[in-house]
C-alpha cells in the first residue's frame, strides 16, 4: 500500500515539482501516471524509491514512512522494489543472465533457491529465456527492456515502478512490454507506470492518475490518457462498472 498525504517536493533550485499530492495505491493495484513534461511523474516515482525525499507531507510505502527512513536502511527498503527505466540500463559487457543475476548478488541472495534457478525463472517469465547467453546489443529494444524487467522482478519485489518504460520502443513492443507488466501485476505485484504512451493507456483502460504542474488533476478508476467521461467514479469508489 502506497499512501501520499499532502506531499510537496521542492528541489534545491526552488522548483516545486509536486504540490499537495494526496493519493492511495492499494497493494496489487496497477496504475498509470500520466501528465505532460515536467508534470512531476518522475519526481513522484523518485520519492517512492527514496532517491528523493519529500519536502513536506507523508510518503508511506508498505507501512514505512519514507521521510523518516534513515539513510542506512534505504538499501534494505529498496530490496523490496523493482525499478525499470526508459533508458534500460543493462551492463553492455555482461550477458543477459549476468545482468539479471547481479540484482540478486547486490541483495546478497542466492541464484539457486529451493531447487529453483531464480534467474532462469525470471527470464522465462519475460519470454527471453532463449537469449540468456547473449549480450544486450544482440537483442532488440523490446527484448532488452524485457531483460531489464526480469532484473527488476528477480528478487520478487512487492512493488514495481516503471518510468517511461516504453518511450524508446516501437508500438508493438510497447504493447507487449505493458502486457508483461500487467501479467506481473496479476501475480500480485503492485505496478506503477509513468508514461506518455497514449495508445497503451487507452487500450489498457486501467487506473489513471494525471499530474499537472505537480498536482493531481484526475484519478480515474478505468481511465484514458485524456480526461473523458469516467463511467466508474473516481477512486476510491471501487465497484461495478456501469457500462456493462
Interface positions with ligand ADP (CB under 6 A): 11, 13, 15, 17, 35, 37-43
Q: Residue 17 binds what, of ligand ADP, Mg ion, none (CB under 5 to 8 Å, by partner type)?
A: ligand ADP
Residue nearest to Mg ion (CB): 42
Minimum distance of ligand ADP from residue 46's CB (angstroms): 7
Closer Cβ to ligand ADP, 41 or 218, answer by number: 41
Q: Which is nearer to ligand ADP, 43 or 99 (CB)?
A: 43
Calculate the CA dihedral of residues 106, 181, 31, 199 and round it to 10 degrees. Answer: 130
Q: Which of 2, 25, 39, 42 binds Mg ion (CB under 5 A)?
A: 42
Least distance between Mg ion and beta carbon 128 (Å): 26
H or E element in which residue 117 lies: strand 116-117
β-partners of residue 81 are 159
Cis peptide before 90 (omega within 30 of 0): no
Binder of residue 207, out of Mg ion, ligand ADP, none (CB less than 5 to 8 A by kind)? none
57's contact among Mg ion, ligand ADP, none, with CB below 5 to 8 A by partner kind, is none
| Binding status of residue 176 toward Mg ion by CB under 5 A | no
Which of 41, 224 has the CB closer to ligand ADP? Answer: 41
Q: 43 touches which of ligand ADP, Mg ion, none (CB within 5 to 8 A by kind)? A: ligand ADP
Computed over its alpha carbons, how large is the radius of gyration of the chain?
A: 18
Can you tell me the distance from the alpha carbon of 2 to that of 6, in angstroms, rounded to the nearest whole number? 13
**Minimal CA–CA distance to 152: which of 206, 207, 107?**
107
Going by C-alpha positions, the residue among 156, 154, 149, 158 that lies closest to residue 111 is 154
Residue 159 belongs to what H/E stretch? strand 159-163
**Interacting residues toward Mg ion by CB under 5 A:** 41-42
Amino acid at each position: 500500500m502506497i499512501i501520499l498525504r499532502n506531499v510537496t517536493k521542492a528541489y534545491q533550485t526552488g522548483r516545486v515539482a509536486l504540490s499537495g499530492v494526496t493519493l492511495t495505491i492499494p497493494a496489487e493495484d496497477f496504475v498509470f501516471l500520466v501528465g505532460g513534461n515536467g508534470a512531476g511523474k518522475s519526481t513522484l516515482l523518485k520519492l517512492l524509491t527514496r532517491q528523493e525525499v519529500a519536502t513536506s507531507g507523508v510518503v508511506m510505502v508498505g507501512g514505512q514512512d519514507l521521510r523518516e527512513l534513515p539513510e542506512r536502511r534505504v538499501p534494505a527498503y529498496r530490496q523490496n522494489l523493482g525499478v525499470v527505466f526508459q533508458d534500460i540500463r543493462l551492463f553492455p559487457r555482461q550477458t543477459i543472465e549476468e545482468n539479471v543475476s547481479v540484482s540478486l548478488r547486490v541483495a546478497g541472495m542466492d541464484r539457486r533457491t529451493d531447487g529453483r534457478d531464480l534467474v532462469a525463472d525470471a527470464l522465462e517469465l519475460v519470454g527471453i529465456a532463449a537469449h540468456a547467453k547473449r549480450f544486450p546489443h544482440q537483442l532488440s529494444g523490446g527484448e532488452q527492456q524485457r531483460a531489464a524487467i526480469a532484473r527488476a522482478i528477480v528478487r520478487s519485489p512487492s512493488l514495481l515502478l516503471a518510468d517511461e518504460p516504453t518511450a524508446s520502443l516501437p508500438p508493438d513492443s510497447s504493447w507487449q512490454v505493458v502486457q508483461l507488466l500487467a501479467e506481473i501485476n496479476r501475480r500480485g505485484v503492485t505496478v506503477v507506470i509513468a508514461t506518455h504512451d497514449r495508445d497503451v493507456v487507452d487500450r489498457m483502460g486501467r487506473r489513471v492518475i494525471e499530474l499537472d504542474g505537480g498536482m493531481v488533476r484526475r484519478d480515474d478508476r478505468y481511465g484514458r490518457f485524456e480526461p473523458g467521461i469516467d463511467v466508474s467514479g473516481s477512486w476510491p469508489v471501487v465497484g461495478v462498472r456501469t457500462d456493462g
